[in-house]
A and B are shown apart, each in its own frame.
Chain A
Amino acid sequence: MTNSPDTISPEAIGKAFAPVPRGLGAILGFAPWLVVVALIGTALVVGGYISTVVAFALIYALFVSGLNVFMGLTAQVSFGHNAFAAIGGYTSAVLTTAYDWSPIAAMGAGLAGALALAAVIGWPTLRLKGHYLSMGTLAIGLITYEIAVQWTSVTQGYMGISGIPSLGIGRFEAVSDRQILVVLTLTAALGAWCVARIRRSRFGRALAAIAGSEEAARALGIDVASYKLASFLISAGYASIAGSLFVHVVGYVSPEVFGLHMVILAFTMLYVGGIGTVVGPLVGALLVSMLPETFRGFRDYQDLAYGAALIAILVYAPRGLAGLAELFRKDAP
């Protein structure tokens, strides 16, 4: 809280702080989008290995976009969204392999399951203040992992489920790298577009109010518990769809896919890219996914690198890469 006195006339302020950032700020504002377009474009043109890396990144981008609704827009914490990805992924895997469901129907079933679980977990915990929810989500992530390992009759345990069909709707099936990439790009773009829409709406303002001050939000008539639950459900839905996409793209699923590592990776992407922004999850997911490929020699130190990157970002650029523009704006606090 800075109590700096205003010495500039209100008129001058009005001119200097027009809503559109200019100069360096504007360039930095667009830069993350350019990076996203350039990386996806390169993957589409070059194909091969890089397109596989970008495909994974786009699935994570969707997952992180959803997490961003809960953690960024609403400022809550969840350590367990991997659970919802696991439910989406395993539902898709089991229904398409053992029961011959179409991928889209299986994805819908997974989504329904993830939302139901999110409602069951969220309803009691979101009414509590403090860290009960975070603790609850951590537990559910771990429990889901254990179920994936132990319920071998359905999940095949550590062996995993293989032979999962590719993505497809009706007669169209995305088989080639490029087709998969196009489908994933469209899905991630739709996911980001929805977040952008939410952000600029009455609904999004209510989430921002909760992020700013729950007490003030309630004083203005915002039903905090309901909005938190809605935000939680949205992010769980994103996670579930990302989980389903993952198993179809890879064709295989095992418990490790949706383990705690997924949470660490998603957090890194969210903070590196820029929490609370629309482009942050996209650019964060893409860059963080490219890093291990760039520094292949340091593979063993991956989590160490993620941890170091997280700390550096939190200290020097709390709004991540997408927030760099703001650091150069004159009205930054």
Chain B
Amino acid sequence: MTARLTVENATKRFGGLVAVDGVSFEVPTTGVTAVIGPNGAGKTTLFNLISGALEPTSGRVLFEGEDVTRLAPEKRAARGLVRTFQLVKLFADLTAVENVAVGAHLKSRGGLLAALLGTPATRAMERRVDEKARALLDRVGLGAVADRRADTLSYGRRRLLEVARALAAEPRLLLLDEPAAGLDAEESARLSSLIRAVAAEGTSVLLIEHDMQLVMNTADQVVVVDFGRKIAQGTPAEVKADPAVIAAYLG
């Protein structure tokens, strides 16, 4: 079986700075893959190359065997590659449940005409979207605040809401950009079990993370980058014992 995602020799230069330098790795169709590295190692740039926010200077990104290197983010999302943001980007004026309903955009139908006519079919679909959104909020533990505006939620809850919103798009590959940033230990543990549960259902997960605890508890495979280059790859236990990784983190 081909990999869910293949990064081939991805390189990104900003002027003289090489933020990502010839990185290659694969995300298998099952399980959780994590990319870790010290601050400024090029993790976020790598993430942006995968999500489509940036185009690589050279190299390729393949999604389920197809080249998506130059595909716009919304087109990647339509194929099942859905991301969250390091700095949470919720729709502040909408309630939590409406935010998740937006996530179901690709999985529902209806344009302007459907909005104006409000046919039984459209109403039935709206009900399904609402039910699905509430079920997802229950799942991430936000069921009780479903009708609150997103910008009134605590930081940790906003992060969970963003994950619920991404899940509403029924991704084939869920990209999480530092999902544990700003979470307390309890929230982080809850997130970890959520990620495991999502992966168990057949969605592959790629997370870029700073929080080693979360990575060690959650990931099946870890890719370590430093100064834009991949310096190690393996199971959490393997990379933890790798001298190059220890040097990068301590040195």
Measuring CB to CB, which residues of chain A are less than 8 angstroms from any residue of chain B?
1-6, 10-11, 13-14, 17-19, 194, 197-198, 200-206, 208-209, 211-213, 215-224, 230, 234, 276, 331-333
Contact = CB atoms under 8 A, between A and B. Distances in A.
Interface in B76-122: 77-78, 82-85, 89-95, 98, 101-103, 105-106, 108-112, 114-116, 118, 122
A212 B157 CA distance: 18
A203 B122 CA distance: 11
B114 A219 contact: no
B151 interface: yes
A18 B147 contact: yes
A221 B169 contact: yes
B154 A5 contact: yes
Interface in B118-173: 118, 122, 125-126, 129, 143-149, 151-155, 157, 165-166, 169
Given A221-B77, A222-B74, A203 B152 contact: no
A218 B72 contact: yes
Contacts of B114: 201-203
Interface of B: 51, 53, 72-74, 77-78, 82-85, 89-95, 98, 101-103, 105-106, 108-112, 114-116, 118, 122, 125-126, 129, 143-149, 151-155, 157, 165-166, 169
Contacts of A331: 148-149, 152
Nearest to A204: B115
Contacts of B108: 202
**Chain A interface, DSSP helix/strand/loop, else mixed:** helix
Nearest to A203: B115
Given A13-B145, A216-B89, 17 more contacts: A3-B155, A4-B154, A13-B148, A14-B144, A14-B146, A202-B105, A203-B110, A205-B101, A208-B94, A208-B102, A209-B91, A212-B91, A218-B77, A220-B166, A221-B106, A222-B74, A331-B149
- The 6 tightest CB contacts between A and B, nearest first, are A212-B91, A201-B115, A10-B144, A221-B77, A216-B89, A221-B106
18 contacts: A1-B151, A6-B153, A14-B145, A19-B147, A202-B110, A202-B111, A203-B114, A206-B102, A208-B93, A209-B102, A209-B105, A212-B92, A213-B90, A218-B72, A220-B82, A221-B77, A222-B74, A333-B149
Nearest to B116: A197
B125 to A, nearest CB: 8
B178 to A, nearest CB: 15
B93 A220 contact: no
B72 to A, nearest CB: 7
Given A18-B147, A202-B105, A220-B82, A333 B90 contact: no
Contacts of B78: 221
Nearest to A230: B112
B116 A11 contact: no
Most chain B CB atoms below 10 A, which of A1, A209, A276: A209
B144 A205 contact: no
B164 to A, nearest CB: 12
